[in-house]
A = this chain, B = another copy of it.
Amino acid sequence: MVFRENPRPGGRSARVQASVHQAVRDMLAVMDRAEVTIPLIAQRANVTPSTIYRRWGDLQELLADVAASRLQPETEPAEIGSVRMDLQAWTEQYADEMSSGAGREMIRDILSVPDTANAEKCSGYTQQQLRVLIARAQERGEPFPTLTELMDYVISPIMYRILFEQPPNAECVRGLISRIIPEGVVKS
């Protein structure tokens, strides 16, 4: 199978992919994830099950694919005030979204597949958002952590808590941020 790469943007292949993705999203919105099956998806997307099996392999991979595309951010981090405040607001929202039922399901779907492409894509989205904040800080001359520091000391602990412990609350998130940007730096 050559699939996946270069699904010509107007071709039948692309239409089937869009239709199947949409079917999955619609179904996840109205029914429990556990009762979503490939035959059902196929029916709603007006394709045959074998098409889905041949293209994605199994339900896990399809769900991982859909989840990754759903995690792609649509907007840049909001501008609230200082970049530190922007970071705090963005991070709290990130933590909330990832901690939610739907968020956790998407992460699980992405991680439960052997192929790491979707997980990397997901981390890439996060880094892309953080880079916007870093550039903003640089532009304004505000002191700001590096990408690595943000990933290691803010994002990673949040994700670990979501995956292995209890989802972090706002206070916890603020604590992680204070640790790498002293409060004193903020001008309110």
Q: Which residues of A contact B (CB under 8 A)?
A: 33-34, 60, 105, 108, 111-114, 119-120, 122-123, 151-153, 155-157, 159-161, 163-165, 176
Contact = CB atoms under 8 A, between A and B. Distances in A.
Nearest to A121: B164
Given A122-B164, A152-B160, 4 more contacts: A60-B112, A111-B163, A123-B164, A156-B161
Contacts of A111: 108, 111-112, 163
Copy number of this protein in the oligomer? 2
A152 B153 contact: yes
Nearest to A126: B164
Majority secondary structure, A binding face:
helix
A165 B123 contact: yes
Contacts of A120: 164-165
A112 B119 contact: no
Nearest to A112: B112
Contact of A119 (B114, B123, B164): B164
B165 A160 contact: no
A111 B119 CA distance: 13
A187 to B, nearest CB: 27
B151 A160 contact: yes
A113 B104 CA distance: 11
Given A157-B156, A160-B155, A176-B152, A108 B114 contact: yes
